[in-house]
Amino acid sequence: MSGWYDGGGPIKVEHGLKARTRRGSIGSTWWSRRFIDILERICDKGRLTRGRAYARQGQVLSIDLSAGEVRAAVQGSRRQPYKVVVRIEAYDERRWTAVEESIAAQAVYRAKLLAGEMPPEIEELFAAMGLDLFPRDLDMDCSCPDWGFPCKHLSAVLYLLAESFDDDPFLVLAWRGRTREQLLGSLADEPATAGLSVTDVPFADRLADFYAPGATAHRPERRPTPAAPDLLLRVFPPPGDLTRPLTQAYQGFADA
């Protein structure tokens, strides 16, 4: 039926966005697979299959993600590309502040995000606050005349979106309203450990004794123990009758 509306196969695109995976499932990380699982649960499997083909052929011309919205252009069988929009709820500043405080309280989550990783437990963190990290429902629209939902154009965009999550997990959060720069900037400003007070001394004030022995703050000063004057003679005994005069000489050096 969709082929009758489209008037045949799609117009070939020279420089479209193509999925990296040429066969099998799309998405390799846990977060992209989580998104794909949602799609395959709420969308018609046949149309998702045709959408994967579109994604692999490079029929998607562009994808732009912003807070709460993804806009894309997909080349179908008509000369004018179809316009695709996918919307989810973007969280406001109050809820994001609460999320960031909750993340900052978990040292492991905070460290992983600062290192550019998405900890699997972050989905539970959102859920504990009554929020969804991944959308349960998608508000989707395509300008094509296809009667099915979602159409193959929408499906192609959703698959490429999932693959883009593989490359940058922070896009999942940006879609919810927090960019990488905003989130990491906030986490970097949060104290890593509550209740721990450390007095920092400016480096310029420490420069004079930076290379001095015993300068480590947590280690008490250690004074060297003087060696016995005749230690060398006991280790390397001199020949003949030289022991006594050399011992007296070394003692004299020590007393000087």
Q: How far is residue 78's CA from residue 85's CA, in Å, rounded to a whole number?
A: 18
Could you tell me the two tokens for 138? 């998608």
pLDDT (0 to 100) of residue 90: 97
pLDDT number for residue 123: 92
Cβ(145)–Cβ(82) below 8 Å:
no
pLDDT along the chain (256 residues), means of 10: 54 90 79 88 83 94 96 94 96 95 89 86 94 91 86 93 91 95 83 42 44 38 47 54 67 65
Between the alpha carbon of residue 208 and those of residues 21, 213, 216, the distances in Å are 59, 12, 13
The whole-number pLDDT of residue 136 equals 86
CA-to-CA distance for 73 and 82, rounded, in angstroms? 6
Say what the pLDDT of residue 188 is. Answer: 80
Q: What is the pLDDT of residue 46?
A: 81
Return the pLDDT at 219: 37
